[in-house]
Structure 1
Amino acid sequence: MAPTDPRPRVRGRGALLGSVAGLVGVVVASTLPWLDPEFRLSAPTRWAMGVAGAAVLAVAAHARADRRWTGIRSVPTLGVALGVAMLAYPVLMSVAAAGLGGPGTELAAAAFHVVPLTLVQLIPVLAASRVSGRRHRRWETAVIATAGVSAVATGLGLLVLPQVTALLVVGQLTWFGGFVLAPAGAWSAVRGAAGEARRRAVVAGLAAPLPPAVIGWCLLVAALGTSLGWSDDSAVTGLLLGYSVGCAAAAGLAMVAVGPSASGLLTVRAVVAALHTLLAVLAVIVGLAVALMATSLDLPAPAALAVGAGATALVALPWMSLQAWIRRVVDPAREFADAIAADGNGPDEARAAVALQVLRDIVQDPTLALCWRVDDETWVDTDLEPVPALGFVDPVDLARDGDGRATVRAHPGTAAVRSRLTALGDCSAVLRPALLQIRVARELIRADAAAERERERLRQDLHDGLQGRLLGLALHLQLSGAELDDPTARLLVAETVGSLRDLVHDVRALGGGSLPEVLVHGGLPAALPVLLDPVAALVDLRLTPQRFEASLEATAYFIVGEAVSNALKHAAAARIQVDVTGPDPGPDGRRLSVVVRDDGRGGADPRLGTGLRRLAERVAGHGGVLLVRDNEAGGTVVEAVLPCGS
């Protein structure tokens, strides 16, 4: 076994030590006196900021050292930079508030929030573009450029041209605009992505709006608290706590987006839950904003809170009604699965056709075609017609087997249809029943073809073998009978020759896949007496005069023939009773009953004879039951019950 590489473990320990050292630095800096008269930030708040930064640094550094993140190292690298910046921010604030370092330190402390907030906007955009396979960097460039313009405009407005207030306005507008760019850039990567890549892009998209959402939440809580009589520093405390929580949560989600596939946080259920959580946060933010506006109208605090709660409920109602839409955002194939399930009461043999029609409706292409892999080298269309393996130009694979080989392919007609099909992702689970139906139908066609070839062989064998021998025997008897002097003997020979010729006719009919003419035209009342005529002295026949459908009569005909033949050949029966009755009422409708009793040796076992076994299969094919048992008075009873309609 290859030796384990110790470097990831060493780097992981280094990340943990770096996080602890940074947190210790924050705690030490918070012991400095706070001399800033404009606002006061408590030491526990700065500790909380340090804890958030240390957590981001530890997670990002560990991810960067883990080989499973090797393909997307840029996101953990930016995460490390974000963690360091988040740890440095409370230290700078403490040093500046203590009056150490002069104006430069004060300026750095006042403007340093731009660094972590720019990084936390850039990380989700970068993660979304990487996991979706898009290599262009226009959104990353836009985020960096917006932050740069904001910093330059604000710096000029504060330090160089304080009389030009427009610079400060431009700086603020571009700064807040950056918070819109990041979600737009991250969610743009979701469009066109499929499967796990889409879920990763959604997770990255959830990370992008988290910092402004959490900051807004904390600011609104602080502002509402101030209006209700809290301290004036509560707004600053809420702002910085929201900044810390938002940055840490966004960085964590971005690491999940580029993390190992085995993560349980990348399942459809987990991603949907995360999306619901974000929507819930936004609903509460709306409620807090409404409550704050209500307090500005001099409403009492309980009334303002009630108004805010009502606003939250109003926002939550449409959100709750969008459950199916939210799931489709994360898993576009859900719409396909739901539509297939809606047709679940249809016949099994129509599953492939239903899947094709549903897909056509979803992608809005009535000419869309599907092909299905039925074995290693054979593809067929939905009508089971063979399709060349390379017959579809640039197809979209909708389903794969356990070895990763395509099993269902679509042939899109346009680029728009291709994009919609690609967004469905892996539909293997949805299409598995339809694929099974196609394969079963294909096997039935092959089995029917093989059976037809076997019937053709049997027809040829009957024609060349048994039929010729029977005709030869009849001719031999006819010639021999002409030389007999006894008129009675000549009559018996003539009757035997006639029976042999009738038998040849029946063999010819059966060999051709048809039934004896007497059965076709006269039914059981005409055919059974003819069949049993050679042994009429041994057989008592009781027969219903009613006609039934042809396949039912054929089954009853062969049951009687096989049972009587077995009784004479194997049981040495002296008497045979044949009863064909019906239609008799039964629990599932009317039934035709065929019973053959003999007084022979008994002990018949349908498992040991191919004739009875084939009869049992034939009876089962009609939905009936064949029973073979010993008679109490001796001999064997063969009984078949066949449904014949209600």
Structure 2
Amino acid sequence: MAQSPRRWAPVVYLLVTAAAVPCAAALLWAWSQGLRYGSTSPALALPLAAAVIAFAAASWWTAVRTPGTVARWTAATCACLLAYLAGGAGAALYTGLGGQRDALALLFLWVHGPGAQVPVAVLQLCLAAVAARIAPGAVPLRAFAWTLLPLSAVHLVTAVLLIPHGPPFADVRPPVDLPALEVPAVVLGTLVWVVPVLAGPVLVWRAAARSRGRARRRLSLVAACALTPVVTIVFCVVGMSLADPIGLLGTTAAEGILAVAYCVPFLVAAAGIPLTLWPAPEERVLLLVPRVVSGTVAVVVSLLFAIVVVTLGTAAGVGFGDGAPLAVALVTLAATAASTPLRTRLTRRLTLAVDPGRATAARLVRGRVDRSRPGPEAQRILRASLADPAVRLLLRLPEGRGWVDAEDRPVDPVPAGVDAGTAAARVVHDGEPGDAAGAVAELRDLVDRAVLAAAVRDQAERLTAERERADRAAAQERHRLERDLHDGVQGRLLALALDLRMAQRALADDAARAVVSDAAEGLREAVEELRALASGSAPLVLARDGLGPALADLARRSPVPVEVTVPGPRLPPGTETVAYLVVCEAVTNALKHARARRIAVRVTAADGTASVEVVDDGRGGADLRAGTGLRGLSERVGSVGGRLLVSDSPTGGTRVEVSLPCGS
């Protein structure tokens, strides 16, 4: 049985194509012969023929691939379209150009007049059948069919019996010629047909919202296709009523636009049905579905609101008479401003309705979110949105520095996942890849914050590692310098100190012996300090007694008064060493370059920061860029996370300020 459709489907497709082409040609020929109205317009004949041929191809595909309910309803839609096209050709040739007014002529008019609504109704049934095929039981197809078809029949019978035909067939009166019933018949017939047709997108949309994975994405595409007939209905109904009053387009142009709008849903559905039912569609195509659906929803809602705005503006123009241009402008602007928030909210609600994961993410983002921890928070919301506690959020660091997880742990190798919403985020979970796309779109702010925070932390760690490598290199260089000093200059200085001791014993004058003794002791201390500075360690008095005694000893040996203020508790050894070097360099500069007569040194510690301030009364003008001493100190201070500032003192002289982290 499965082979039967494969045999007859090509034949039917060729027959339908063979019938559609001459029907369209007949309409075009009638147009060329002067029978010009909406049905013979090339704007309807050509797109309608294209829609018939496209649906014939879709019918062929469904008959071969998915024989059953979908194939039957697709074929029914194609048959209704072909009947509508054939009715138009018959009405143009037999009733219009031929001038016939018999039963066959009336049949052609009825098929191509009120019968225009039948293909739209059957199209909604066809899309509902596709949705039922994708998610069995999600759409009540039988109940929908038994509701829509009888109501469409009521509409068709009402139109045939009570509503007259328009030009050029205005002389053909309806069987029940009661002008008083024309308007009520139009309103009643439209309502009993439009309401069930509008229910089609609602049913498919609800089915999509209740599904997950690939089924949800397929149903989302069906729901987008089901929205296009709604636009056609509103556009055609409102457009026909505004064609004359609006005065911006001629009747021919308006009829052409409406004819094209009528054919668009069939062309969209003819392409969408095979795509949604394809056995194994390309993954990248499925990942595009959320964007296609959201874009379609935005276009549809915007078009509907545009129609409303145009309707209100046109009504104002007709009502105000001579003040029409100003009234149209004011009413249109007011309606646009008033409808924009509602249009935005409606678009978003429809988009969230078809994507429950995205809706959950949007709800959680609006709640309490710890934005100080964007990575873990984004991963938590993703897990709740996708109902999967194993979901992992991976973040791509800039400049090709690799990947980290939400907790800033490096990830290598990087597992396969979905680059959803942004190339800087990858979602790894066991579900369908497209489920994460909508949720990540709602988390864009958190994801961007997480990527930025991870990049900053990674850069800080890299700088710390580079600083540690630089410190290790500096330590190695100091060890080399210490060894060179020990083997060279230090040995000669020690020999000189020994010579001074020997000279001391040989001197008979007590005063001379005292001078030589002080020189030998100073030389010994200088050797000790040279050894300490070369090794990068603190002087002996600093290491043994602390920063206060070390600075007091420095002040004692200074040729000018040095006032030292140091806190009682000792600072960490590393902080004391850097502070001592800063004071030594600042005092040396004040004596050597500034010709200071008085120096004040003040050290304070508070809130985990040690502050060192050296102020002199010299000539000032110190500059970090002017010499290597202060630049070296600045680099040394920066290597431990401190900050050095050199400025002129308000009272004259130079002020050197240093802030050092001391951890207490």
TM-score normalised according to structure 2 size: 0.53
SS in 1 for 2:413: coil
CA distance in 2, matches of 1:341, 1:643: 42
1:108-123 to 2 correspondences below 5 Å:
108-111=108-111, 117-118=118-119, 122=123
2:380 alignment partner in structure 1: 357
CA distance in 2, matches of 1:450, 1:576: 42
Letter in 2 for 1:325: R
CA distance in 2, matches of 1:108, 1:453: 91
- Evaluate the alpha carbon distance shift between residue 188 and residue 30 of structure 1 in structure 2; reply closer, same or farther with a 3 A threshold: farther
The answer on whether the counterparts of 2:403 and 2:411 sit within 8 Å (CA) in structure 1 is yes
| The one of 463, 485, 494 aligned to 1:447 | 463
1:526-605 to 2 correspondences below 5 Å:
526-534=549-557, 536-537=558-559, 539-546=560-567, 557-567=580-590, 571-572=592-593, 574-575=595-596, 577-581=598-602, 594-597=613-616, 599=618, 604-605=623-624
Corresponding pairs, count: 502
CA distance in 1, matches of 2:461, 2:145: 65
- Evaluate the alpha carbon distance shift between residue 85 and residue 244 of structure 1 in structure 2; reply closer, same or farther with a 3 A threshold: farther
1:437 alignment partner in structure 2: 453
Q: Does 1:615 align with 2:634?
A: yes
SS in 1 for 2:456: helix
| The one of 436, 446, 450 aligned to 1:421 | 436
SS in 1 for 2:657: strand
CA distance in 2, matches of 1:318, 1:506: 75
The answer on whether the counterparts of 2:610 and 2:659 sit within 8 Å (CA) in structure 1 is yes
Deviation of 1:640 after TM superposition, in Å, equals 2.6
Give unmatched runs, 5+ long, in structure 1: 1-17, 32-45, 65-77, 159-172, 223-239, 259-264, 283-315, 402-406
SS in 2 for 1:626: strand
Q: Deviations over 1:255-297 (max 9, x none)?
A: 9999xxxxxx979688436336658999xxxxxxxxxxxxxxx
1:512-527 to 2 correspondences below 5 Å:
525-527=548-550
Deviation of 1:359 after TM superposition, in Å, equals 2.5
Deviation of 1:357 after TM superposition, in Å, equals 3.1
CA distance in 2, matches of 1:502, 1:116: 102
The answer on whether the counterparts of 1:576 and 1:596 sit within 8 Å (CA) in structure 2 is no
SS in 1 for 2:436: helix
Deviation of 1:399 after TM superposition, in Å, equals 5.4
Q: Deviations over 1:421-456 (max 9, x none)?
A: 144466896434422332332232233223222222
| The one of 272, 282, 303 aligned to 2:298 | 272
Letter in 2 for 1:497: R
1:476-495 to 2 correspondences below 5 Å:
476-477=495-496, 479-485=498-504, 487-488=513-514, 489-495=516-522
Letter in 1 for 2:477: D
| The one of 418, 435, 445 aligned to 1:396 | 418
The answer on whether the counterparts of 1:573 and 1:601 sit within 8 Å (CA) in structure 2 is yes
Between Structure 1 and Structure 2, the one with more helix by share is: 2
Deviation of 1:497 after TM superposition, in Å, equals 1.7
1:253-264 to 2 correspondences below 5 Å:
none
Deviation of 1:395 after TM superposition, in Å, equals 1.9
The answer on whether the counterparts of 1:602 and 1:631 sit within 8 Å (CA) in structure 2 is no
Q: Deviations over 1:527-559 (max 9, x none)?
A: 43344554x11x432333446976887765443
Letter in 2 for 1:247: Y
1:131-280 to 2 correspondences below 5 Å:
180-181=199-200, 184=203, 203-211=224-232, 247=262, 250=265, 271-272=297-298, 274-275=300-301, 278=304
CA distance in 2, matches of 1:185, 1:243: 26
- Evaluate the alpha carbon distance shift between residue 559 and residue 253 of structure 1 in structure 2; reply closer, same or farther with a 3 A threshold: farther
1:639 alignment partner in structure 2: 656
- Evaluate the alpha carbon distance shift between residue 128 and residue 250 of structure 1 in structure 2; reply closer, same or farther with a 3 A threshold: farther
1:336-375 to 2 correspondences below 5 Å:
346-347=371-372, 350-374=373-397
Letter in 1 for 2:613: V
Give unmatched runs, 5+ long, in structure 2: 1-22, 56-75, 158-191, 243-254, 276-290, 309-339, 506-512
SS in 2 for 1:452: helix
Deviation of 1:516 after TM superposition, in Å, equals 6.7
CA distance in 2, matches of 1:377, 1:611: 35
Letter in 1 for 2:230: P
The answer on whether the counterparts of 2:637 and 2:660 sit within 8 Å (CA) in structure 1 is no
Deviation of 1:207 after TM superposition, in Å, equals 1.0
1:497 alignment partner in structure 2: 524
- Evaluate the alpha carbon distance shift between residue 188 and residue 125 of structure 1 in structure 2; reply closer, same or farther with a 3 A threshold: farther
Deviation of 1:210 after TM superposition, in Å, equals 3.4
| The one of 384, 394, 404 aligned to 2:408 | 384
- Evaluate the alpha carbon distance shift between residue 335 and residue 546 of structure 1 in structure 2; reply closer, same or farther with a 3 A threshold: farther
Letter in 1 for 2:417: P
Q: Deviations over 1:134-181 (max 9, x none)?
A: 9999999x89x979x969x98xxx9xxxxxxxxxxxxxx999977755
| The one of 646, 649, 657 aligned to 1:627 | 646
